[in-house]
Structure 1
């Protein structure tokens, strides 16, 4: 397939951005770098703009031209070039998976670890199927019931990254506000109890750390809302994701990511310890009243 027909996937964009950074650090113009490689300037331009495929075997040669000889960096970029056109496991779900969500799933697949703070929800990677469907139905307000079901299936499929993945499972550190544990689901009152039991089971895994932000916590940066730091091994910078009703927003600047990393450390310090968090979850399960709050009408929302 000709390079001009390549699809600008997230991996290809990250590769192009990295190559552009190294070229500029080397003090080379686009046309000069292309000339030294024996390429047309348009070819290198398309590669840097994620519109053309970069052959893995050309990575080391191009990086050497830029003065980059670190074996770890070369290997990392070769891997990204090799995987740039790989089809995501979510492909069968088609357009139900929005472009920003596909980008997020790609980041998650490539990440080494992720740090997340959530004030109102259990993080998606830790949700039960029943909880996921209820939450998606309540928040994805433009989706049909069929799309809600599909998105719930995608969310459950994502979770295999915590237990089975080439190269080892994702490491997850989640801080969840206690208020998230007191939601009530009128249709199935036991959803929250089952969800909390699932949290305890997931916390037993060696790659998962769960802390609870108590209701009586001191002020902390997480009061401004949910955020996630998707962390990568060198040379890739970390990426921060923010969620809203319009989808996922990505913050990729190194300085911005560092601010969120510092904020997460303050959140961790304000939260309960891992052991105390586990005990609080157990206490809520034992004392919880899993019947729904008083309902004024017997009608329910079918979605």
Structure 2
């Protein structure tokens, strides 16, 4: 991973490599921090990828962990140089919380993304007008509203339009595709966008029908991110947002099971497309 790439991805690379090297050296975070005369909180921030790592600090850790493979050392030094600087979402700092910024870093590295929303179309899939209509009742300042919408549009572009985006699975409750947020025209446009996305590679859009009855979908909206080289991650979409990974495997497993149950109860891909198409046609007939 070169210095020119997204800084958050370089930080993630360092996080995984340094955590693995420390564990191989048989050291706890407290012991490692004491050996290099750091605070434990500094090492924790490095191992969670929330801060960049200087080459000098990196070398101190690699020496402590007895990492001598010169090709690996050079690779990690390049990543350290590339871990500094702003990420793409930094220009939206006025509308992105630190917690959500950390999540966006993980999302950019994920190879799979699975999400469910019981009330509205997920942010990943919203059209511009739908997003604006969704934000309007919250009394959000117009300028701030536009900033939030721009963030959502760029986030979508990075996930769906790049050559190496994640395999993305979206389960929408039937209520989400029927609720007329913004009115009939806005919803019709939104449904047309869902139909377009459903035909793209790496993306599946399915609907959990009303007749599915009671199920774990009442847990609310959430996102599951999958990685080939790290623990899966759960992001709960509420006002503050919260992430859970390997530190709470029971909660993570509960939501993984929930998503599987919702998937099993949802309509198939073609059936979902048919339902969305019928709802869109009904909007025009009224």
147, 151, 162: which is aligned to 2:148?
Answer: 151
**Which residue in the other structure is 2:213 paired with?**
218
- Superposed, 1:95-114 pairs within 5 Å as 95-114=94-113
**Which residue in the other structure is 2:167 paired with?**
171
Structure 2: segments with no counterpart, 5+ residues: 1-7
**Which residue in the other structure is 2:245 paired with?**
252
Rounded to whole Å, the distance in 1 between the matches of 2:223 and 2:80 is 26
For residue 252 of structure 1, report the CA deviation from its aligned partner: 1.7
**Which residue in the other structure is 1:299 paired with?**
none
**SS of match in other structure, 1:154:** helix
Number of positions where the alignment pairs a residue of Structure 1 with one of Structure 2: 271
**Distance change >3 Å, CA 198–CA 22, structure 1 → 2:** same
For residue 237 of structure 1, report the CA deviation from its aligned partner: 1.4
Rounded to whole Å, the distance in 2 between the matches of 1:125 and 1:33 is 40
TM-score (norm 1): 0.74
Structure 1: segments with no counterpart, 5+ residues: 1-8, 292-303
**Which residue in the other structure is 1:278 paired with?**
273
Deviation digits for residues 174-225 of structure 1 (CA, Å, limit 9, x no counterpart): 0000101122245x53000110010000111111011100011133211221
- Superposed, 1:79-94 pairs within 5 Å as 81=80, 83-94=82-93
**Distance change >3 Å, CA 25–CA 64, structure 1 → 2:** closer
Rounded to whole Å, the distance in 2 between the matches of 1:243 and 1:54 is 33
Rounded to whole Å, the distance in 2 between the matches of 1:86 and 1:153 is 21
TM-score (norm 2): 0.78
Q: Which moved more, 1:206-215 or 1:216-225?
A: 216-225
Rounded to whole Å, the distance in 1 between the matches of 2:170 and 2:36 is 48
39, 42, 60: which is aligned to 1:46?
Answer: 42
Rounded to whole Å, the distance in 2 between the matches of 1:222 and 1:80 is 40
**SS of match in other structure, 2:277:** helix
**Distance change >3 Å, CA 282–CA 11, structure 1 → 2:** same
Structure whose residues are more often helix by fraction: 2
- Contact 1:15 1:48 (C-alpha < 8 Å) held by counterparts: no
- Contact 1:214 1:272 (C-alpha < 8 Å) held by counterparts: yes
**Which residue in the other structure is 2:66 paired with?**
65
Deviation digits for residues 7-45 of structure 1 (CA, Å, limit 9, x no counterpart): xx797589558735652564335687579xxx7322887
Give runs of ≥4 in structure 1 deviating > 4 Å. Answer: 9-18, 29-35, 56-64, 73-83
RMSD of equivalent CA atoms: 3.7
**SS of match in other structure, 1:284:** helix
- Contact 1:114 1:173 (C-alpha < 8 Å) held by counterparts: yes
**Distance change >3 Å, CA 144–CA 75, structure 1 → 2:** farther
**Distance change >3 Å, CA 62–CA 262, structure 1 → 2:** farther
Deviation digits for residues 136-189 of structure 1 (CA, Å, limit 9, x no counterpart): 2335x5x31210111001101111123333x61222100000101122245x53
Question: Does residue 261 of the first structure (1) align with residue 256 of the second (2)?
Answer: yes
**Distance change >3 Å, CA 290–CA 85, structure 1 → 2:** farther
